[in-house]
Amino acid sequence: MTSEHSSPAPDTRTEVLEAVNLACQRGERLLFRGLSFTVTPGLTVLVEGSNGSGKTTLLRTVCGLMQPEEGEIRWNGAPVGRDRLAFQARLGYLGHVHGIKDELTAEENLRVAAALAGVSRERVAAALARVGLAPLAEVRARQLSAGQRRRLALARLLLGAARLWVLDEPFTALDRAGMGLVEAMIEDHCAAGGMVLMSSHHGVELNCISPIRVEL
């Protein structure tokens, strides 16, 4: 996806995310220590573990929403804190909270996201169509079902120049068709040179990709 900004597009072939010797804790409880993994173009890394093992904590740490007790996150070989804005421009995060404004329509929500990403509004219609919400474009978000709201949140990933998708339980609230949509989106993203770091209780079925598994 091409941004409308005038700066040169990064060479996606060299983009890499590294977690190096991470340790994270919640309160006084250590969740994990010495965790390292790498995500490269075309790769999906699936984080697995029981409830409370630290999956959400790990993903939020990668996104910079939490700080690790030990270790660091690197983007293209450098700590993400060195140029956090550049890292965040390449990051698409889907967490448990959708970040949807209830008073706006589905289309208006995506127009706001497109403006923040610096891309054309023309992408909005295509994103709504891809997630099956084109007929509901003018419906206010508060009137959408839980599954439809999840699809709307997923549509934001199709805007902008995010090469790294961090997805925390992306199948939540989705029916079988919605789960298939997520799997297809991941496959297409990785086929285009994108990267995915995700957690899921759902059995992920990716026809073209064998995900690397990280166990917590």
Structure tokens that stand for 136 in this block? 């509901």
Categorize the per-residue pLDDT at 113 as very low, low, confident or very high, splitting at 50, 70 and 90. very high
H or E element in which residue 136 lies: none
Helix, strand, coil percentages for the chain (3-state, nearest 5): 35, 25, 40
Q: State the pLDDT at residue 207.
A: 72
Higher pLDDT among residues 122 and 40, named by residue: 40
CB atoms inside a 10 Å sphere around CB 98? 19
Write the single-letter amino acid at 41: P
Distance CA 159, CA 90 (A): 11
Helices 146-155 and 176-191: angle between axes, nearest 10 degrees: 10
Q: State the pLDDT at residue 5.
A: 39
Mention every residue, 6+ apart, whose C-beta is less than 8 A from residue 73.
Answer: 17, 18, 19, 20, 22, 61, 62, 64, 79, 80
Residue 4 has pLDDT above 70, yes or no: no
Q: State the pLDDT at residue 10.
A: 47
Distance CA 206, CA 209 (A): 5
For domain 15-90+163-216, the CATH class is alpha beta
For the chain, the domains span 15-90+163-216, 98-160
The pTM (predicted TM-score) of the whole model is 0.90
Residue 19 has pLDDT above 90, yes or no: yes
| Cα distances (angstroms) measured from residue 83 to each of 44, 74, 75, 133 | 24, 10, 9, 35
- The distance from CA 130 to its chain's CA centroid, rounded to whole angstroms, is 17
Summarised one tens digit per residue, pLDDT across range 183-212 is 999 999 999 999 999 998 766 777 767 789
Structure tokens that stand for 28 in this block? 């006084």
Percent of the chain with pLDDT over 90: 78
Q: State the pLDDT at residue 46.
A: 94
Chain mean pLDDT for the chain: 90
Q: State the pLDDT at residue 1.
A: 36
Summarised one tens digit per residue, pLDDT across range 47-104 is 998 888 999 999 999 999 999 999 999 999 999 999 999 999 999 999 988 889 999 9
Residue 181 has pLDDT above 90, yes or no: yes
